[in-house]
Chains A and B, each alone.
Chain A
Amino acid sequence: MFLQQLVNGIVLGSTYALIALGYTMVYGIIELINFAHGEIYMFGAFIGMILVTVYQVPFFIAFFLAMALASLLGITVEYLAYRPLRRSTRLAALISAIGASIFLQNLALLIMGSRPYSFPSPFVSKIYKTSFVTISKVEVIILIVSFLLMLGLTFLIQKTKIGIAMRATAQDKDTASLMGININKVITATFAVGSALGAAAGVMVGIYFRSVTPMMGLMPGLKGFVAAVLGGIGSIPGAMLGGLLLGVAEVMGAAYISSQYRDAVAFMILIVVLLFKPSGLIGSSLQEKV
């Protein structure tokens, strides 16, 4: 049973990690908690669902299209809600982020209504059973895809030109721009990549739980934020670790403490981390953030 719960926790945690990456990348670059990120995740899931059910697009194409369209949405949100406030106080941008989140949530409610929509699984459901652990095909796919996306992101950040530009911008925006880096371009790219990862998580959660609703971004959005803070906001490996830890902690809390306090466990962890290690598990307070 312990192993099974561990697997449950890791699957859940890998989706948190993908969401947390979006928070942490944006924070690393412009020190803004992008509260609209949970809604981008939700839009990603809706786009995927609509492409698959209405337009009959093959799932893997729909998956990448959802990531691309959610990137555009992320870029638009940055352009309309955050860019005009870049030189104002951080609180103004934060409030703008909360506003963007509420706006997107209600936009989805207006367009889609409040009922949940069914997201048919593109895979033949199959269960792999060993003597200790049962895991379904969807779960295996979620684990593999999350792993590949995180690997891809690490490569992007470490090896590519835009990744180096992102790291430079995160360290010192002004110096980076003196070195000829186009800051606006870097910020746009950051939102694009973060939103794409969020959308990927949204689509995978959609097929995992077979449904999408306009409210689905709320809790995972908060949990993704908690995971990012847990790992050390601004740190990419931190977000991955924080997501996995949070998922496992939540599942273990539900299994061994009480299922009533499942969400409480997540937020308790946040409070404890903030009290004892405000910079997070991996995060460093002043040095490089991405």
Chain B
Amino acid sequence: MLPFRPVVLGTDLLVFAMMACVLAFAIYTMRREHLRAPWRKVAGSATGMVAATVLAVFVTVGILDSLHFQRALPPGSAAEGSHYAPDVLSVLDVATGSLRTRSEKTFSAPFAAYGHAKETLNEVDGTQSRAQPRLRHGGAHLRDPAREHHADIRSRVAWGVALAGMLWVLVASLIIGIAAARRGRRFAQVSGAVWQGRHETPLRAVLLTLAVLLIVFVPLATLSHVYHVLGTDKVGQDVFYLALKSIRTALVIGTATTLVMLPFALTLGIAAGYFRGWVDDVVQYLYTTLSSIPGVLLIAAAVLMMQVYMDTRPDRFQSVVHRADFRLICLCVILGVTSWTGLCRLLRGETMKLRELEYVQAAQAFGIGPWRIMLRHVLPNVLHIVIITTVLNFSGLVLAEAVLSYVGVGVDPAMNSFGTMINAARLEMAREPVVWWSLAAAFAFQLLLVLSANLFADAVRDALDPRVQATLMRNAGWGRFVARIARGQAPR
């Protein structure tokens, strides 16, 4: 019997499918010089690469959090034929150690050794006093927090920074080594070029970004074993852990929605542009109708109906995790089905232009069937539009998730996400003294993710097709649709 049993949730499948798509596309691109050229331009832009580095860290966390399993129960304790513990864990849960289970009673500030609010404590001599209680886990290793607290944090931060420095040297020499080996040059030569900013890819910016990320997160990670580095929330959960878990939800919403949306937009858009006639009329009617319903309302209506479906069939779901996961898939499907119209419109217009070109007419003259022409000659030539919309919309979807969760039509309340974090934290600002750390954590993590996604999207757009920029923005396309939802307004 294995010590664990892998569990594949629905959204995990979507994540793996998305990874397979990206991989397949990367291989397809690598083999064709004319497709590789624009990506080389992306690799040459400093902001693009810095953003990609940050995104890569987020994606790594998200993938680690998508590998789920169940632990085996110790032999002898297996109850009712099941040999595995009921709770589904992810690799991230294991990697963060005891962060998941070390919860306090209620709020506590970052790095605190005492609780946030005063409580009535029973002293040893039988009297009672009002004071902040010691935390169960945060700073529990300190004998006298008043004296040792600051020195302890200082020395641990110093250790963390030293560790980060060593890690950075390791990673940096690995990257430079690979760069040197690929060009067949000496290590010292390449590192000199990188340091002076003369290397063709802006490796210096990437390495500096890595340095900043490591210096911030390695000490945080090492300290998180003895303190709650970002405090705890109302029910005493570690906020740092919650923020890490929220990353996967944001990534799933941002990517899986695109995965759902693409088949609709691609087939309908290209078919409408290629066939014209009644096909075009039907598709145009479809997307005009769908896009005339304000996005939030359509999503709200669909999610309400999904809720009715789920609530009247509670026995369909094995556990809370499965239930939350099903709801996340449904949300992605709903977002995807309601938002393919903008991309479809763009693809239809582009296909209409392409079908008049010589190579398509040559293919027609050779008697090649329409579906084959669309697949072989039209699709590859509209792919850049697809990629640009995909990356442009990612950040909008991440922002939209928070708003939808607030409205009550977002992810399951049991699922960690930036939306649920903000939603739970918004009343905490009214407390006395103010509880700011949950909100600050959600703010920082979401800002970092969305900002780097935006900057990366800009770099990709500039490289792939600078002309598309104007069209995309003019057409009130999908990006604006999602962006409007993200601001909580009816889309234009």
Verify that A and B bind, or say they do not.
no
